[in-house]
Amino acid sequence: MGRLFGTDGVRGVANRELTPQLAFRLGRAGAWVLGKNKERPCVLIGKDTRASGDMLEDALSAGVLSMGGDVVKAGVLPTPAVAYLVRHWKADAGAVISASHNPYEYNGIKFFNGEGYKLDDAIEEEIEAIVLGEKEPGEPAEGGGLGRCRDAAEAAAEEYIAYLKETAGVRLDGMKLAADCANGAASLVAPRLFRELGAELTVLSAAPDGVNINRDCGSTHPEALQRAVREQGAALGLAFDGDADRLMAVDETGEIVDGDKMICICAGKLKRDGRLPGNRVTATVMSNLGFHKAVEAMGCTVDVTQVGDRYVLESMRKTGSAIGGEQSGHIIFLEHSTTGDGMLSALQLLAAVKEGGGSLKALADPITIYPQVLKNAAVRNENKKKYAEHPGIVRAMAAMEEAMAGEGRILIRPSGTEPLVRVMLEGSDIHKITGLAEELAALITRELG
């Protein structure tokens, strides 16, 4: 990836690494690159609930305005809402100020193009070159050419909720649900959405104070939601992350239903509805072996990509796949959205549950999720990618695959930031795969460390 942009925008500790000065430069460069050939480009900006959001929003806006671009402030809003509204309101670009599931002291800035898609690497590199002073943008605006800023937070939330209701295809009247909003961007929108569709809703973690986003709540900490579902007798629970682009679900007994299972359930409904082109489902290399077996049992095939929702989307656009995603709960329904959307995913899951008789557990339990074991092998940095060419390591991996007899698999991934190779084994016997993972990690360290 680039020097500033990671797999999902520019991130860092707010006011230390992600400073107002950097946000200003990003706004200036983003307006120039994404608004080329526009006399007055329009950039839509949304944010989550972090205390640093106001500071970075104003700095980013100032950068856009200084280049003669207009800014529409959409307020606190889920990331996928910005992706939708960029298209719906015909803006030239969108920006989201959020660090997703990270703690409150972090923040991030990511851009969408005018079609609501995350930026290609080449576009990010052009923005980086300007930010780092390696390339000059056009002249800054002056006088009447400076951009203008308007607040559209109320209208943005209304439009997004209306859009989600149109995609739902289902009413939730009388259905008892629990929703954990992670004290984040879902806090305003989610309660309104599900109640307007008729659900009887218990809401958790929807009182953001600027520093409690993701703190012991949301998709990465579903324990309170699990208790609430059991105590309230809810049909299921829904947990969002800080910017509400991912979803984790909880069945009526309080058991977690992860992204792999949700994708299987929703893909099954799409297939029954005749809305699964080519019977294809898209997932990453980290998707569970049980996921693959369940999808194949439905008569479908899995297209496998690198880890990261941008790679999932790239594959889906090439193949025409209607659904794809990750274990973490980033799920893309390409018929409706250009990015992962936790609330849209929740509505699609709820539609499948209602069609199946109202029990998420009954839909999720037949999908076997195999145990996974992850071990790190310490290696020299220059050797991180040499495991695939080492005869001894290749032979050992082949022998292990044969020993698991189709009931397990090996995945090896070099760390992007550390002198490590990550060894993941997956299989039906947790004790067996733990021993094999330890053995393979030790071999890699011995040969390449």
DSSP letters spanning 71-83: EEEEEE--HHHHH
**Nearest 5°: phi and psi at 67?**
-100, 10
* Cα gap 5→17, rounded to integer Å: 13
Residues 100, 187, 328, 345: which is the catalytic one? 100
Beta-bridge partner residues of 301: 280
Cβ partners under 8 Å of residue 435, min gap 6: none
- H helix runs in 236-275, sequence order: 259-272
- H helix runs in 89-185, sequence order: 121-131, 153-168
Reply yes or no on whether 328 is catalytic.
Answer: no
**Over the Cα atoms of the chain, what is R_g?**
23
* Cα gap 317→51, rounded to integer Å: 36
How many C-beta atoms surround the C-beta of residue 243 within 10 A?
36
Q: Token pair for residue 266?
A: 């929703």
Q: What is the dihedral of CA 378, 384, 386, 388, to 10 degrees?
A: 90
* Cα gap 306→173, rounded to integer Å: 40
Beta-bridge partner residues of 303: 282
Exposure pattern of 41-58 as b/e (b: 16+ CB <10 Å)?
A: bbbbbbbbbbbbbebbbb
Nearest Cα residue to 326 out of 350, 342, 348: 342
Q: Is 90 exposed, middle or buried (0-12, 13-18, 19+ CB in 10 A)?
A: exposed
Enzyme catalytic residues: 100
